[in-house]
Amino acid sequence: MNKSDPKPETHQSVETYDYALFGEVDESSLDGIRQIIGRRMTASWQNVPHVTHHDEVDVTELESLRHQHNQGLDDGGQKLSTLSFIVKACICGLKEFPDVNASLDETGKTLHLKRYYNIGMAVDTPLGLIVPVLKNADTLGLSELAAGAAQLAGKARTGKLGFADTEGGTFTVTSLGKIGGTGFTPIINAPEVAIMGISRMKQKPVEHDGKIALRLMLPLSFSYDHRVIDGAKAARFVGFVRDLLQNPDRLIQAS
């Protein structure tokens, strides 16, 4: 390149203009938390090659089993959540596919495989999306996962999270739950290398035992860092998680 040529820009910013030229405009400042989230998400999107693998899980048996368990509880017993089953299945998947529970260093040459399982759970709060981390989640049973997730979500929504509650994550689960959607592309919570997105479950006619039946289906959206995980491994990981969720007794036994 000739010395007189301008240096290429690495990241181009989006151009803005005076929007009031075309009509009335109101302005409001983004709060500090929203700005931090924006910077982290932008850095992840610009530096990590994202790919998203979509799948559906038949959770008819899981939800039936979960409701039976919750209805049989005495007063004060910990109810199981759908999220607790999903987190447990993901932890089993991380143990089967260690590359998914890892971080790539800045040089792109060294992969840090983590032997601990700290699961981040994205929580929608008045201040924006916050990701508290459930530490050593692999040591917890389904009831303990449900209780731990509910406790962290409550602290996040009331502004009571400490810094220690948000650090050390190895894998993140983000759920749109009852809000809706049939799938999305969650942005990886770098330096993690993958994130599991959950959309709203709904009944759909699908093939089941050789017949068309109305089944409760849950969409999964698994985003991964393509430098570390290729498409085949991503599909196998999601398939492993899907098979566990479709056989919830195995997850109860794993607890």
Question: What pLDDT, on a 0 to 100 scale, did the predictor assign at position 5?
Answer: 53
- Given 50, 54, 69, 226, the catalytic residue: 226
pTM: 0.90
User: Is the per-residue pLDDT at 8 higher than 80?
Assistant: no
Contact 220, 54 (CB under 8 A): yes
Report the pLDDT averaged over residues 173-195.
93
pLDDT value, residue 170: 98
Question: For this structure, is 67 an active site residue?
Answer: no
Rounded distance between C-alpha atoms, residue 66 and residue 82, angstroms? 8
Look at residue 14 in the predicted model and tell me its pLDDT. Answer: 85
Dihedral, CA of residue 124, residue 126, residue 127 and residue 132, to nearest 10: -40
**Choice among 148-157, 176-185, 189-198 with the minimum mean pLDDT:** 176-185
- Summarize the confidence of residues 51-78 as an average pLDDT: 92
pLDDT at 73 over 70: yes
Percent of the chain residues past pLDDT 90, beyond the cut = 76
Tell me the DSSP string of the chain: --TTSPPPPSSPPPP---GGGGS-----PPPHHHHHHHHHHHHHHHHS-EEEEEEEEE-HHHHHHHHHHHHTPPTTPPPP-HHHHHHHHHHHHHHH-GGGSEEE-TTSS-EEE-SS--EEE-EEETTEEE--EETTGGG--HHHHHHHHHHHHHHHHTT---GGGGS--SEEEEE-GGG--S---PPP-TTBSEEEEE---EEEEEEETTEEEEEEEEEEEEEEETTT--HHHHHHHHHHHHHHHTSHHHHHHH-
- Check pLDDT > 50 for residue 1: no
Domain ranges of the chain: 51-254
Strand partners, 219: 56
The architecture that CATH gives domain 51-254 is 2-Layer Sandwich (3.30)
Distance CA 176, CA 158 (A): 20
What's the confidence (pLDDT) of residue 3?
Answer: 52
Indicate if the pLDDT at residue 10 is higher than 80.
no
